[in-house]
Amino acid sequence: MSAGSCLRANEWICGEYVRTRAPELVDATRQHVGIALTAVAIGLLVAFPLALLARRRRLAGPVLGLTTVLYTVPSLAMFALLMPVFGVSASVVVTGLVLYSLTVLVRNILAGLQAVPEEAREAARGMGYGPGRLLFEVELPLALPALLAGLRIATVSAISLTTVGAIVGYGGLGNLIYEGMESFFKAQVLTASLLCVLLAVVADVLLIAVERLLTPWARAGRGRRADSSRSVKAV
């Protein structure tokens, strides 16, 4: 077959499509990454104070209940409800993704803070740590494994859900997927879909690396538990 024949034949795998549409793919990928990362960053900023509120027993139920209800709203309905407020813009997609991320982020941040040993808090208070210093210098560092685990889930979910933004023209790679589905352009659908998967995998791997870098004690603890387990089995 001659070069470009895979486009005429409308094949799923087509290198000529990637070569000829590279600028379009790059632009869509940039928009996709920008929307997803912006949503996760804002979601983290919103989730943190909500998790602190949820630490209070009287507010835990309402805060967790609200974030859970938001997560159950179908994405199409969520974007439709946000459009009268933000119009047809990227803000609709970003806001929707922020609201969806709150369930995972708030619960993981709260779980991490609740898992901090009371002995660590008492020791810090004994050294004269106030509430703010205790939170940022003791509790948050110890809560990082749970926080980063939630961040990984929220990031991968945001990358996936960004595609739905194609309904308002701001879906990044989702725009190409929807356009390809309408015209049954196989190469475009498959290429854009694979790029979405690749973005999610790369983001997850990078966050795992960040987690290992920021929480070396957690890895050391897992190593000690594994050594202890092997020792018990040997006995």
Q: Angle at the Cα of 209 (from 203 to 212), degrees rounded to 5?
A: 140
Write down the pLDDT at residue 232: 38
Within a domain: 9: no
Within a domain: 6: no
Burial of 73 (0-12, 13-18, 19+ CB in 10 A): middle
Write down the pLDDT at residue 219: 61
pLDDT in tens, 109-130: 999 999 988 898 999 898 888 8
Within a domain: 10: no
Domain of 33 in residue numbering reads as 15-229
pLDDT in tens, 30-86: 999 999 999 999 999 999 999 999 988 788 889 999 999 989 998 888 988 899 988
Tokens of 88: 């047809």
Write down the pLDDT at residue 226: 47
Task: Look at the chain and report how many structural domains it folds into.
Answer: 1
Within a domain: 234: no
Within a domain: 221: yes
Please check the confidence at residue 131 and state whether its pLDDT lies above 50: yes
Compute φ and ψ for 167, nearest 5 degrees: -65, -20
Within a domain: 49: yes
Q: Which residue has the higher pLDDT, 99 or 60?
A: 99
| Alpha-carbon gap, residue 103 to 63, rounded angstroms | 9
Q: What is the mean pLDDT of residues 81-107?
A: 92
Q: Which of 45-54, 124-133, 163-172, 213-222 has the lowest mean pLDDT?
A: 213-222
Which residue in 43, 47, 25 sits closest to 35, CA to CA? 43
Q: What is the mean pLDDT of the chain?
A: 87
- Residue 1: pLDDT band with limits 50, 70, 90: very low
Length of the chain: 235
Please check the confidence at residue 17 and state whether its pLDDT lies above 90: no
- Residue 190: pLDDT band with limits 50, 70, 90: very high
- Residue 24: pLDDT band with limits 50, 70, 90: very high
Please check the confidence at residue 29 and state whether its pLDDT lies above 70: yes
| Alpha-carbon gap, residue 148 to 108, rounded angstroms | 8
Tokens of 142: 């110890």
Query: Do residues 168 and 79 lie in contact, with contact meaning Cβ atoms separated by under 8 Å?
Result: yes
Q: What is the mean pLDDT of residues 20-37?
A: 94
Query: Do residues 146 and 136 lie in contact, with contact meaning Cβ atoms separated by under 8 Å?
Result: no
Within a domain: 8: no
- With a CB cutoff of 8 Å and minimum separation 6, the contacts of 15 are 6
- Alpha carbons within 13 angstroms on the beta-carbon side of residue 220 total 5
Within a domain: 1: no
Please check the confidence at residue 225 and state whether its pLDDT lies above 60: no
Q: What is the mean pLDDT of residues 85-106?
A: 92
Query: Do residues 196 and 163 lie in contact, with contact meaning Cβ atoms separated by under 8 Å?
Result: yes
Q: Calculate Rg over the CA atoms of the chain.
A: 22
CATH number at residue 176: 1.10.3720.10
CB atoms within 10 A of CB 220: 10
Tokens of 106: 């708030």
